[in-house]
Amino acid sequence: MVLRLRQTLTALVVVLIVLPLMAATALAAPPATDSWTFTQKGFQANASESTCTTAGDLVTCSGQSVYVFSGNTREQGSGAVRGTQVCVNFYTDVFDEATGEPVSFTNEFGCTTDVGAGTAIQRDLSSASISATTVPLQGETCVRVGDDFQCTPGEETRDVVVEGTFTATSTSVRWSNRSFYDDGVCVFRDSFRGTAAIAMFVGTIDGQAVEITNDETGYAEIANGMSSNSGRCSLTG
């Protein structure tokens, strides 16, 4: 269970890095395809949390994430675009614990470059703040049918307001990482090289008070560096 949760949280961080290109109209959007490759260089803070319940062999994990980035984004084949973005994600993931196979997943996600005044990440990685920012969300539901997944088209669902503060709970250290994740629908590859500090996030997401720390159900960090991300999804709908 812990391994599955860690994989889920890792995938969410990758998704939230991907989302700015998918949702922010002020930045370059990826082509209408099932694959992407891009890099980001700058300051970021992210927090994710998840809880899981079990009924027979079926495990249902639900969670949420918040992400803020300030810096340069470059998609393969295009120039760098500078901006600040705030992203929010809600998800429910159902998988068969006996086989490890995903059964279904539901996502609501979105990003905006219209961030609240005062949204900033400190250069020493001691803290980051998101002033009240409205993020429009899009929803998608995918269900396994045989060996494939059938997905409903993404459509706008609602707007949510997010605000809060990231506070470093450790000293910042040099850090590099490469990861690979395959959820049965999408394959994600990402890498990061830079400086990062473990953190906690305290704030509100969609009117609900949130406190996310680095433990078995959540993870938060503040970082500065270069990330490279790519992925490919095989969806039917």
pLDDT digits (tens, 9 = 90+) for 147-165: 777 888 767 779 999 999 9
Question: What pLDDT, on the 0 to 100 scale, is given for residue 1?
Answer: 35
Its pTM stands at 0.77
For 122, residues 6+ apart whose C-beta sits below 8 A from its C-beta are 128, 222
The amino acid at residue 174 is R
* Position 75 confidence tier, pLDDT thresholds 50, 70, 90: confident
Contact 201, 164 (CB under 8 A): yes
pLDDT of amino acid 90: 95
Stretch 156-177: mean pLDDT: 93
Nearest CA to 164 among 46, 39, 27? 46
Q: Which has the closest alpha carbon to 64: 236, 237, 204?
A: 204
Cα separation, 9 vs 181, whole angstroms: 11
pLDDT of res. 12: 40
Determine the Cα–Cα distance for residues 60 and 230; give it in Å rounded to an integer.
27
What SS3 state is found at 206?
Answer: coil
**Which pLDDT band holds residue 236 (cuts at 50, 70, 90)?**
low
| CA 68 – CA 44 distance, rounded (Å) | 6
Q: Is 232 helix (H, G, I), strand (E, B) or coil?
A: strand
Q: Which range, of 35-39, 86-90, 107-111, 204-208, averages the lowest pLDDT? A: 35-39
Residue located via tokens 């005044």: 117
Tens of pLDDT, residue by residue over 94-144, are 999 998 888 888 899 999 999 999 999 999 999 999 999 999 999 888 888
For residue 145, the enclosing domain spans 2-233
Rounded CA separation 127/125 (Å): 6
Q: What is the 3-state secondary structure (H, E, C) of 131-185?
A: EEEEEEEEEEEEEEECCEEEECCCEEEEEEEEEEEEEECCCCEEEEEEEEEECCC
pLDDT in tens, 16-63: 334 333 333 233 333 334 677 878 899 999 999 999 999 999 999 999
Share of the chain above pLDDT 90, in %: 51
DSSP letter for each residue of 3-36: HHHHHHHHHHHHHHHHHHHHH-TTSPPPPSSSEE
- The number of folded domains in the chain is 1
For range 191-208, the mean pLDDT: 95
Specify whether the CB–CB gap between 198 and 223 falls below 8 A: no
Nearest to 199 by CA among 224, 167, 223, 174: 167
pLDDT, residue 206, reads 94
Arithmetic mean of pLDDT over the chain? 82
Among residues 141, 113, 129, 134, the alpha carbon closest in space to that of 205 is found at 134
Q: Which of helix, strand or coil describes residue 214? A: coil
As a whole number of angstroms, the distance between CA 193 and CA 195 comes to: 7
